[in-house]
């Protein structure tokens, strides 16, 4: 039996629209094959929304998001604001607000390593081979959402966590660890931060509920180092919002490129599926962006939002076949790749559709 779902697409800024086109195409193609029916709506967010409406998350987009079954998101950001610290309205505000409004407190970021990309990383292939990490980044708390203050010569961002916020993401991470190799690493800075001491206390309190899972606690500085020294030692990693933001960009280099990493933001409301990369204005509109993170985000949508593992597996395997056949976008092409097989966004998206 096919499913019927209503999807909101938020292409956003920079390379967002280019990559999202291919995520959506893959969603539809595999849907047709399995008899699923999708209806689509589109919403604006980020710089494009500021230009059109004065705010980065218009009420209309938020209302559409709440009314949809899943959201496919591209990217937000613009250099104009990056170089203007005094800007009061910023593209990123929309993304943070939608995460908060939808209660998307858990951001799942799988570090999936395709064998063909072992040489695309700046790390040694023998260090990388066999790495498979699933990050649980807390997404609606921490210094991202604490009170902000600013005077001419002083600034402060309040870092805070409630016990329940740590508990709910910890449980999600433990459940996932149970279904994998039963190892959970909680990353914090409990030697310095009070929020981290609460974090660690909560994890220690929950650990006995999962006696089959081995729990390890690691400081963020050490984790950042271990991740490049011996990434295989990690399986499920659970961490706070800011630490998770930073660690997963670092971890993307294990997978070869930011252009490969998909993510799923879940919690109370509609699931939100987003590549971890940003708007990449330097290559926007040039048909150079890697569409695979958006396509793999759609695989996560099938698996997590709709519980359809087979369809998800088909998408991942189409990406794998595309890479095995030697096709690459510029960001994942190592020196040994046949120049003729280095493709633009559209041709790469098309190849995945073919292998589907
Ligand atoms: C991410 C991004 C966002 C974040 C930005 C765009 C606000 O870097 O999703 O990782 O910091 O969460
Ligand atoms: Mg980030």
pLDDT tens by residue, 115-132 = 999 999 999 999 999 999
Query: Residue of the nearest CA to atom 12 in ligand 1?
Result: 245
**124-154 burial code (b ≥16 CB/10 A, e <16):** eeebbeebebbbbbbbbbbbbbeeeeeeeee
Which sign, positive or negative, has the C-alpha torsion 52, 55, 60, 61? positive
Cross-strand pairs, 239: 137, 187
Q: What is the pLDDT of residue 335?
A: 87
Asked if 144 is an active-site residue, the reply is yes
If you average pLDDT over residues 88-117, what whole number do you get?
96
Active site residue 69: no
Band the pLDDT of 334: cuts 50, 70, 90: confident
The pLDDT assigned to 161 comes to 98
**Using a 6 Å cutoff on CB, does residue 92 contact ligand 1?**
yes
Q: Please name which of 296, 320, 317, 307 lies closest in space to residue 27, comparing C-alpha atoms.
A: 296
Question: Is pLDDT of 244 > 90?
Answer: yes
Name the closest-CA residue to atom 9, ligand 1.
Answer: 276
Choose the residue to mutate in 92, 100, 135 for probing ligand 1, maximizing ligand atoms within 8 Å of C-beta: 92
Q: Are 353 and 29 in contact (CB under 8 A)?
A: yes
* For residues 197-214, average pLDDT: 98
Give 114-119's long-range contacts (Cβ < 8 A, gap of 24+): 114/255, 114/256, 114/260, 114/319, 114/320, 114/323, 116/320, 116/323, 116/324, 117/255, 117/256, 117/257, 117/260, 117/323, 117/332, 119/334, 119/336
157 is catalytic: no
- How far away, in angstroms, is 141 Cα from ligand 2 center? 15
Sketch out the chain's domains with CATH numbers. 1-107+263-356 (3.40.718.10), 122-254 (3.40.718.10)
State the catalytic residue, choosing from 157, 245, 320, 321.
245
Region 156-181: what's the mean pLDDT? Answer: 98
Angle between helices 16-33 and 292-300 (to 10 degrees): 40
- Please tell me the pTM assigned to this model: 0.96
Task: Specify the pLDDT at position 1.
Answer: 81
What is the enclosing helix (H) or strand (E) of 148? strand 148-151
| Structure-token pair, residue 325 | 């056949």
Measured distance CA(61)–CA(43) in Å, rounded? 5
245 is catalytic: yes
Q: What is the mean pLDDT of residues 289-305?
A: 98
Measured by CA distance, the residue closest to atom 1 of ligand 1 is 276
Cα 95 to middle of ligand 1, angstroms: 8
Instruction: From the candidates 24, 64, 189, 351, give the one annotated as an active-site residue.
Output: 189
Q: Are strands 132-138 and 236-239 parallel, antiparallel or unpaired?
A: parallel
Torsion of CA 159, 245, 53, 70, to 10 degrees: -110
Ligand 1 pocket member 245 (CB < 6 A): yes
Average the pLDDT over 229-252 and give the result.
97
Q: What's the mean pLDDT when you consider all of the chain?
A: 97
- The Cα 89–Cα 81 span in angstroms is 9
Q: What is the mean pLDDT of residues 55-84?
A: 96
Is residue 249 annotated as part of the catalytic site, yes or no? yes
Ligand 1 atom 6 nearest Cα:
92
Question: What helix, strand, coil percent values describe the chain, rounded to 5?
Answer: 45, 20, 35
What's the token pair of residue 318?
């189409």
């Amino acid at each position: 039996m096919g499913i019927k779902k209503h999807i909101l697409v938020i292409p956003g800024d920079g390379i967002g629209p280019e990559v999202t086109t291919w995520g959506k195409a893959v969603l539809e193609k595999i849907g047709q094959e399995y008899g699923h029916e999708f209806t689509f709506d589109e919403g604006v967010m980020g710089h494009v929304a500021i230009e059109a409406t004065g705010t980065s998350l218009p009420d209309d987009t938020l209302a559409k998001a709440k009314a949809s079954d899943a959201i496919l998101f591209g990217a937000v950001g613009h250099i104009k604001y990056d170089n203007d610290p005094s800007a009061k309205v910023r593209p990123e505000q929309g993304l943070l607000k939608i995460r908060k409004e939808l209660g998307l407190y858990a951001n799942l970021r799988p570090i999936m390593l395709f064998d063909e990309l072992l040489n695309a990383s700046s790390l040694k292939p023998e260090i990388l081979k066999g790495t498979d990490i699933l990050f649980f980044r807390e997404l609606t708390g921490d210094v991202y959402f604490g009170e902000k203050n600013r005077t001419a010569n002083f600034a402060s961002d309040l870092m805070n966590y409630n016990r329940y916020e740590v508990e709910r993401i910890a449980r999600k991470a433990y459940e996932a660890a149970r279904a994998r190799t039963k190892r959970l690493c909680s990353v914090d800075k409990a030697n310095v931060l009070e929020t981290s001491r609460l974090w660690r206390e909560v994890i220690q309190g929950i650990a006995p509920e999962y006696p089959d899972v081995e729990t390890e606690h690691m400081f963020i500085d050490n984790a950042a180092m271990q991740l490049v020294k011996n990434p295989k030692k990690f399986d499920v990693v659970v961490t706070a919002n800011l630490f998770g933001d930073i660690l997963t960009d670092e971890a993307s280099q294990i997978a070869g490129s930011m252009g490969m990493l998909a993510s799923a933001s879940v919690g109370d409301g509609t699931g939100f599926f987003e590549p971890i990369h940003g708007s990449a204005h330097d290559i926007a509109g040039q048909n150079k962006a890697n569409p695979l993170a958006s396509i793999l985000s759609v695989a996560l949508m099938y698996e997590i939002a709709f519980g359809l593992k087979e369809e998800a597996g088909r998408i991942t395997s189409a990406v794998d076949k595309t890479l095995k056949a030697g096709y690459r976008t510029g960001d994942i092409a190592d020196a040994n790749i046949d120049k003729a097989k280095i493709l633009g966004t559209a041709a790469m998206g098309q190849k995945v559709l073919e292998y589907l």
